[in-house]
Amino acid sequence: MADRIIAGQNSPISTDAINQQDAVDILENKLTQLRSLLNCCYGDEQELFEAIGARHRGNIMWIGADLADDIARLTQELLKRLHAIDQQKA
């Protein structure tokens, strides 16, 4: 088992934890993770993806779907914050 975590900091689990870490940073991390995951699923790496079997491919797509859901939620949070800032300026 690896001693070090090679990925970035884990994102918060609860939606309230967004206030503890900047949503922009979390969003950037999630997008980086999703981009890396998808890079393993097409192009030159597609043969590896095909070879891992249906169960693992399904799990990888599940991870991708979870990341996309997180990204959508974070984007909505950021849009709400931007809207609130615009309302304060008006």
Q: Identify the pLDDT of residue 15.
A: 55
51 located within any domain: yes
6 located within any domain: no
Condensed to tens digits (0 to 9), the pLDDT of residues 40-50 reads 888 887 888 88
59 located within any domain: yes
32 located within any domain: yes
Q: Identify the pLDDT of residue 67.
A: 96
34 located within any domain: yes
Query: Please, is 67 exposed, middle or buried when counting C-beta atoms within 10 Å of its C-beta (0-12, 13-18, 19+)?
Result: buried
pLDDT at 31 over 70: yes
For residue 2, give the amino acid letter. Answer: A
Angle between the N-to-C axes of helices 23-39 and 54-89, in degrees from 0 to 180, rounded to the nearest 10: 150
What is the average pLDDT score of the chain? 82
- Domain extent, residue 72, equals 22-89
Q: How confident is the model at residue 86 (pLDDT cuts 50, 70, 90)?
A: confident
* Averaged pLDDT for residues 57-70: 95
Q: How confident is the model at residue 8 (pLDDT cuts 50, 70, 90)?
A: low
1 located within any domain: no
* Averaged pLDDT for residues 3-22: 55
5 located within any domain: no
Domain count, the chain: 1
Distance, CA of 81 to CA of 66 (rounded, Å): 23
CA 80 to chain centre: 19
In this prediction the pTM is: 0.70
